[in-house]
Amino acid sequence: MKAVTLLSGGLDSVTSMLLAQRDIKIILALTIDYGQRARFNEIQVSSKLCEMHAIKHMVVRLPFMLDIQSGLLEGSGMNIDSPWVPNRNGLFINLAAAYAESLGAEYVICGFNAEEAIDFPDNSAEYVGSLNQALEYSTLNHVKVISYVQDMNKLEIIKTALTLGIDLNSLWSCYEGGEHPCGKCPSCIRTKEALKKVGIK
């Protein structure tokens, strides 16, 4: 079995990819540059991690995304507290599925999870189910989407990451770019709360 992974270099996608790697051969990891504030950090972290795990890494650039309004995107004029990007995950999964079919891979791995699904419906198990139905028709080899952290909250993902030996300091989950995580964006807040529960600063 082979898979293409969507990798942002954050806690969720990294943990999901390394869990998947125990069952499935990851033949390609894709990091998408869609003009997000954290793109340089995400690309750097993802590329390093793939090198460590001998996974082929590629950056796909979607410059047209800068026409889309979202607080996650640089220069959109919107606040980081409005991180929703219209149909982002739909675009990314379909893009990864196109690579998967053309490379003969049966799976797309992503880091969707229960905690983010509360705020973002495109992280939910229901959405993954409907994506898989659609991919039955749009890929000839019936590519399937799996998130290995689908039912987990942040705390459970952190605990799993630690058992996998992932260095949490090497990841980038912040919505902002820069030298250090901002500590204030919704992603930093979710991560900080979960880290506090496991006793990590």
185 binds Zn ion (CB under 5 A): yes
What's the half-sphere exposure (Cβ side, CA atoms, 13 Å) at 116? 26
User: Does position 182 bind Zn ion by CB under 5 A?
Assistant: yes
Least separation in angstroms between residue 185's CB and Zn ion is 3
Helix ranges (DSSP H) in 33-153: 39-52, 88-102, 114-119, 125-138
Contact between 19 and Zn ion per CB under 5 A: no
Give the residue with the Cβ less far from Zn ion, 67 or 179: 179
Interface with Zn ion by CB under 5 A: which range of 28-36, 98-106, 124-132, 170-178?
170-178
The verdict on 38 binding Zn ion (CB under 5 A) reads: no
Task: Please tell me the distance from the alpha carbon of residue 64 to that of residue 154, in angstroms, as a whole number.
Answer: 31
Inter-residue contact 111 to 14 (CB < 8 Å): yes
User: Which residue of 66, 68, 91, 188 would you call a contact of Zn ion, by CB under 5 A?
Assistant: 188
Tokens of 135: 């991919």
Of the candidate spans 61-69, 89-97, 161-169, 175-183, the one that interacts with Zn ion by CB under 5 A turns out to be 175-183
| SS3 track for 160-182 | HHHHCCCCHHHCCCCCCCCCCCC
Short-list 95, 99, 123, CA closest to 111: 123
Closer residue to Zn ion, CB minimum distance, 99 or 172: 172
Q: Does residue 195 bind Zn ion (CB under 5 A)?
A: no
Residues in contact with Zn ion by CB under 5 A are: 174, 181-182, 185, 188
